[in-house]
Amino acid sequence: MKRRGWVDFLFIFPTALAFVMVIIVPFFLGIYYAMTDWDGVRTTLTWVGFQNFTGMFKEPQFIYSFLITLLYTVINIALVNIVGFLMSLLATSRVKGRNFYRAGFFVPNLIGGIVLGYIWQFVFNNVFVDLGNAAGLAFMQKSFIARRETVIWAMSFVNTWQYAGYIMMIYVASIQAIPDSVLEAANVDGANYRTRVFRIMMPMMASAFTITLFLTLTNSFKQFDLNSTLTNGGPAMVYMGKAIRASQLLAMDIYRTANQFNLMAQAQAKAVVFFIILVVFSLIQVYLNKRKEVEA
Partner 1 sequence: MSMNSGVKTHKRHISQGEKRGVGLYILEIVAILVFILFMMPFVLVVINSAKTAKEIIFSPVTLPANWGQIWTNVVTIFNNPSNDYFGAFIDSTIITVLALTVITLFSAMCAWSLVRNKTKWSSVIFMFFVAAMVIPFQVVMFPLVKWFKIMGDFIRIPMLGSYQGITFAYLGFGCSMTIFIFHGFIKGVPLELEEAATIDGCGQARTFFEIVVPLLQPTVVTVLILNGIWIWNDYLLPLLILGSAGKIQTIPLAVTAFAGSYLKQWDLILTSALLAMIPIIVLYLFAQKYIIKGMVEGAIK
Q: Specify the residue, 192 or 260, whose C-beta has the smaller distance to partner 1.
A: 192
Site for partner 1 in 31-50 (CB under 8 A): 33, 40
CB 241 to partner 1: min, Å: 28
Indicate the SS3 state at residue 261: coil
Q: Is 16 in the site for partner 1 (CB under 8 A)?
A: yes
Given CA atoms 150, 165, 197, 99 in this order, what sign does their dihedral have? Answer: positive
**Long-range pairs for 67-73 at CB < 8 Å and ≥24 separation?**
68/152, 68/246, 68/247, 68/248, 68/249, 69/221, 69/223, 69/249, 69/250, 71/152, 72/152, 72/155, 72/156, 72/220, 72/223, 72/249, 73/217, 73/220, 73/221
> Minimum CB separation from partner 1 for residue 219, in Å?
11
Partner residues linked to 145 by β-bridges: none
Q: Cβ of residue 151: shortest distance to partner 1, in angstroms?
A: 18
Residue 249's closest CA among 156, 164, 160? 156
- The reply to whether 261 sits near partner 1 by the rule CB under 8 A is no
By CB under 8 A, tell whether 215 contacts partner 1: yes
In the shown chain, the binding pattern of residues 124 to 153 toward partner 1, with x for contact by CB under 8 A and - for none, equals --xx--xx----------------------
| Contact set for partner 1, span 219-238 (CB under 8 A) | 222, 224-225, 228-229
Residue 25 contacts partner 1 per CB under 8 A: yes
Give min distance, CB of 272 to partner 1, in A: 6
Interface segment toward partner 1; rule CB under 8 A; list 48-56, 68-76, 135-143, 214-222? 214-222
List binders of partner 1 among 168-187 (CB under 8 A): 169-170, 172-173, 175-176, 180, 183
Pinpoint the alpha helices (H) of the chain. Answer: 2-19, 25-33, 51-56, 60-91, 98-106, 113-122, 129-135, 151-176, 180-188, 193-195, 202-204, 206-221, 225-230, 250-259, 264-295
State how far the Cα of 293 lies from the Cα of 207, in Å rounded to an integer: 6
- 82 touches partner 1 by CB under 8 A: no
- Which residues, listed in sequence order, are joined to residue 245 by a DSSP beta bridge? 236
Q: What single DSSP character describes residue 45?
A: -
Piece of the chain touching partner 1 by CB under 8 A; list 74-82, 148-156, 208-216, 239-247: 208-216
The residue within the footprint of partner 1, chosen from 30, 132, 234, 235 (CB under 8 A), is 30
Q: Which of 161, 235, 237, 285 binds partner 1 (CB under 8 A)?
A: 161
Interacting positions 84-123 with partner 1 (CB under 8 A): 87, 89-116, 118-120, 122-123
C-alpha distance from residue 49 to each of 37, 56, 92, 243, 291 (Å): 9, 14, 56, 29, 39
Q: Of 3 and 58, which has the nearer Cβ to partner 1?
A: 3
User: Would you count residue 192 as binding partner 1 (CB under 8 A)?
Assistant: yes
Q: How many residues bind partner 1 (CB under 8 A)?
A: 100
